[in-house]
Structure 1
Amino acid sequence: MIVRLHDARFAYQDGPPVLDGVSLALPEGRATALLGRNGGGKTTLLRLLSGGLRPTAGRLLLRGEPVSYDRAGLTRLRTTVQLVVQDPDDQLFAASVEQDVSFGPMNLGLPEDAVRARVDEALQALDITGLRDRPTHLLSYGQRKRAAIAGAVAMRPSVLVLDEPTAGLDPHGQERLLDLLGRLRDGGTTVVMATHDVDLALRWADDAAVLAPDGLRTGPAARLLTDQGLLDAARLRRPWGAAVSAVLRAHGLLAEGDPGPRTAEDLARWLPAAT
């Protein structure tokens, strides 16, 4: 496991515990969807994984070694794990896209040619090379989202953690972002996404982590997101794909244990093959 949060507890000052006894392990090269009700602790959990917050109990392990929260330990963690926050305006601060994306690599003390190579690579990965010199305040919302992710990608993290990355994007923008995250995963990057969208989680993620009142449940997305008791406890609705698969099985059109369609497009492709 690249990153493992073990038996973590966290409470904000003068407040009740937000997380208590939470454990989460992130294997290499897999996509994990983090789901739960509003105020359930998703953002707090992401910040614990990335070192923005320190657990009040428990520990964070990086490649099997406990993370130290001094300068050297946090630098080691943040070169491995990068967090992209929900609102890109909380992350972008430089005058131009290129300046913003280059900030992280420059802070690593890399030579100029290495910084330039990382910036070029990140801009190309996010398909925003043409925005290199664009002032960040003139970007559209979707462009700002991609620029913020490019800044994280330029650090070449092993783990990319994103808080509600599809929020505020139109359907086309969501699909472009999911394609990008799929390419990063295929290239070996571990991707963690907090989302409220159970349909997106079911079709995109390998694994799911669901925050419920009795703790964090983890497992394969296809299994966990069909557990109606867990979904009810976490105040999540049943995914469309799970509901359709249940109907197909009830009518003898889908064998028990066989994966069903996860999207309307899957269903359209599946129907001719099933008839």
Structure 2
Amino acid sequence: MTSPTTSATPVVELVKAGFAYEDGPAVLSGVDFAVAEGRAIALLGRNGSGKTTLLRLLSGGLRRGSGSLLLDGAEVTYDRKGLTRLRTTVQLVVQDPDDQLFAASVGQDVSFGPMNLGLPEEEVRLRVREALEALDIVALEDRPTHLLSYGQRKRAAIAGAVAMRPRVLIMDEPTAGLDPHGQERLLDALARLRASGTTVVMATHDVDLALRWADEAAVLSPAGLRTGPVAELLGDDALLDAARLRRPWGTSVSRLLRAHGLLAPDAPEPRTPEELDAWVAAAPLATE
């Protein structure tokens, strides 16, 4: 995946990668997946399609069975030096925050990664503060992790990854289990991270979220992985059928408006109900 605004060399890249769990069939085979600097990428596919496996391969949590994993164009080695280099660049946040949080308080948990890097105490405090501010949970620094709400635990887990100052933040179903308000707060936090220069990859099966949030999409189907601009891929009915994904709400609405001549072919499509409301207000529908 590339963009005119990004460098030619991806930050992290899988080339012809394959993986199979012990005594099981191949989960992924011949996968090419490049994460370019400064992008927001949605990884989509049905449950069991291999999204989590792909994320763990990218972050070094799993070792690919075939192919290559590249960081800034150089092959990643799986020794201590190579994995440290990878994990200070790429951080994974798992789906269940309870699998990631383990310290007594939020501040202690967020500080764990920077402390493990052997950073000076002042630098650790700075990183913790920056991460808590980015996720809007400064007030929770001294809160015991077991007293947090689910949404707070989600943001605390992300803050722990952010404190490592990764260039690429990878998240597995980060909005799963959140109510609408919780989702909006999380998306606001991700917008702040992107504004600060963090590249974000999000695995999700929520096509409406992907269309609204991402620049690019990567869709896993039985035919393999296909990547490209999010609106283009999520407007491909054959691809969505193969991946067992439904049509995004925004794409269906835009098709209807264009079919009735109400939306110009080159006009941006409304991707959310709020954008549709704004479009109606700016160009009211004709009434008889």
Place the TM-score, normalised by the shorter chain, in its bin: over 0.9
TM-score (norm 1): 0.99
4+ residue runs over 2 A deviation: 272-275
The reply to whether residue 156 of structure 1 matches residue 169 of structure 2 is: no
Residue pair 1:97, 1:131 contacting (<8 A) in 2 also? yes
Q: 1:72 is matched with which residue?
A: 81
Alpha-carbon distance, 1:228 to partner: 0.4
The reply to whether residue 207 of structure 1 matches residue 216 of structure 2 is: yes
Q: How does 1:1-275 map to 2 (within 5 A)?
A: 1-275=10-284
Distance 2:103 2:195 in 1: 30
Residue pair 1:33, 1:192 contacting (<8 A) in 2 also? yes
Structure 2 counterpart SS, 1:34: strand
Alpha-carbon distance, 1:128 to partner: 0.9
Residue pair 1:158, 1:189 contacting (<8 A) in 2 also? yes
Distance 1:130 1:271 in 2: 40
Residue-by-residue CA offset, 1:2-43 (whole Å, 9 max, x unaligned): 011111000000000000011111111110000001100000
TM-score (norm 2): 0.94
Distance 1:269 1:257 in 2: 18
Structure 2, unmatched stretches of 5+, are 1-9
Structure 1 counterpart SS, 2:31: strand
Alpha-carbon distance, 1:264 to partner: 0.5
| RMSD of aligned alpha carbons | 0.7
Alpha-carbon distance, 1:256 to partner: 1.8
Structure 2 counterpart SS, 1:253: coil
Residue-by-residue CA offset, 1:75-133 (whole Å, 9 max, x unaligned): 00000000000000000001111110000000001011000100011111111111111
Aligned residue pairs, count? 275
Structure 2 counterpart SS, 1:83: strand
Residue pair 1:253, 1:274 contacting (<8 A) in 2 also? no
Distance 1:140 1:256 in 2: 45
Distance 1:140 1:270 in 2: 36
Structure 2 counterpart SS, 1:265: helix
Alpha-carbon distance, 1:274 to partner: 2.4
Structure 1, unmatched stretches of 5+, are none
Residue-by-residue CA offset, 1:138-169 (whole Å, 9 max, x unaligned): 11111100100000000000000000000011
